[in-house]
Structure 1
Amino acid sequence: MTDMPESRRGLASGVGAYVLWGLLPVYFHFVASVAGTEIVAQRVVWSVVLLLPLVLLARRGGAVWQALTAPRVLAMLAASAALIAANWLLYVWAVQHHQVLAASMAYFLNPLINIALGVALLGERLRRAQAAAVVLAGAGVAVLALDAGTGLWLSLSIALSFAFYGLIRKLAPVDALSGLTVETMLLAPIALGYLWWLAGHGGMSFGQEAGLTALLVLAGAVTTVPLLLFAAAARALRLTTLGLLQFIAPSLQFVLAITLFGETLDARRIASFGLIWAGLAVYVAGNLLARRNRVAA
């Protein structure tokens, strides 16, 4: 009975993280008048402002200092910081340029790319269902590639940047809060320098309008809260459960793209998404079957 409250908290944290990530296009829609580069810079600055008090409250200052003074860990977090910054820039650009479907497809692909990275770089083995899922998703990407448009490179760039970010964070010997704090601290000087330059050239939106300024300050919470909820869920839930929850975000983005943002689905996109969803269904079904077999054994 003692495990039940923890599982419920973990489930609530996981659902909360992926729902917030799924609704991110709505936030970016409200700050559509702001340049994507400024949005990312504001996210970094206000994330630091939010994270530093959390580090002090959680008494993780020692872990942050250890990460900053360990060359190998610092190099890994510098790489992950660059990847997540690139991911943010690409994602904001996608939303602002009416490419929410491309962003949605990226995060449908992400679990399958993680499988490929595990096989290629970590020596993990694929079960039959996982191999079939990768083949189906690859076919979906191939269908989209026939169009050779913006959607393909954008989806792959977003998916690959986040997948390699996750790989580095998996390998880096640092906890979620400390690692995220170090990443944002590394990005903060660049972000502040860019904002200073932007202000000097009269191009900064921050401070021009009260409502827009408040939304940009909120970027810190929009960035940090789902990442921390995800970390809590990862500690409390099985990976199979977490993998199932992972599809909440792109599903919400897909619905928003064709409803709120008015994007259209042509036959090629429908076929591409259909193949990717089929791959995801095979992947999930294979995981559930393997888990049932383990329990039976």
Structure 2
Amino acid sequence: MPSPYRSLPGLPSLLAAGLVGVLALGGGWWLGQRQSATQASADPKRTLLTKEATRLRLRLDADEAGPADRQRLLELLVALDRKGEAISLLEPMADREPERWSLRLVLAELRRDQGDRSGAERELRQILNLRPTQVEALQLLSLLNLEQGRAAAAEARVKAAYGMATKSDVRPEALGIGLLLAELQLKRNQGATAAATYLQLANVFPQDQRPLLGLAMLRHDQGDAKGAQEALAQARLRTANPDKPDTRLDKLAASWGLEPLRSPSAAAKIPTAPASEPLRQSP
């Protein structure tokens, strides 16, 4: 099943923190760096960037480089598409500062980009051993699992993380984990289970539009135009200013051939699931 999130141009801000789904997992930090690399390749100032990288490398070799120098050198190496050197620089940085999980996440992305899936997975497991509910690490590890045909394992891991994030007090990261779980369920052709997950998230996070947007896109992909419109109408009620029309949602409805969301009346027709209801188990 294709990702339902491809049909939502113009709403990137609403789809942040997980809703973009696993097809774009490597695209957050890494996409930005790839764009920088492309720009650097075409930029006449590339020579200057290379000279700066060489200067910083000499400082590093002379043991004169500080943290800011190392960070800048890393950025330059990635922008210049010298990823092998970036990995060599990043490895000791990540080992020295294990609390900075983002360094190891970048290292995992670099390893995956270089074709080292096992190395990337090793880095991600180090993050998750210390932070089992770290969303970005779960996203990238899920992508690696999908690439290797291990969708069931990915779903099981994310479901366990969701359980941890909602066991007592609901943690903020539970939303991103739940959205990732729904995407994985869709990848496994479990549309009804994914819909139940979106409904539960909508109840647990009553101020957030994203679960309802995910539900709307799922229903649209299933050919349920009425259900999609109802979900969009309820999502509209969750705007920062309910009295001000959200033209982005109207444009989305129009792109699907639905009527503009001029009335919130359809929102009341959406069923709800108790927040305490457990997510349905995968077959």
TM-score between the two structures when normalised by the length of structure 1: 0.22
Query: Rg bigger for which structure?
Result: 2
Where relative contact order (Cα < 8 A, 6+ residues apart) is larger, the structure is 1
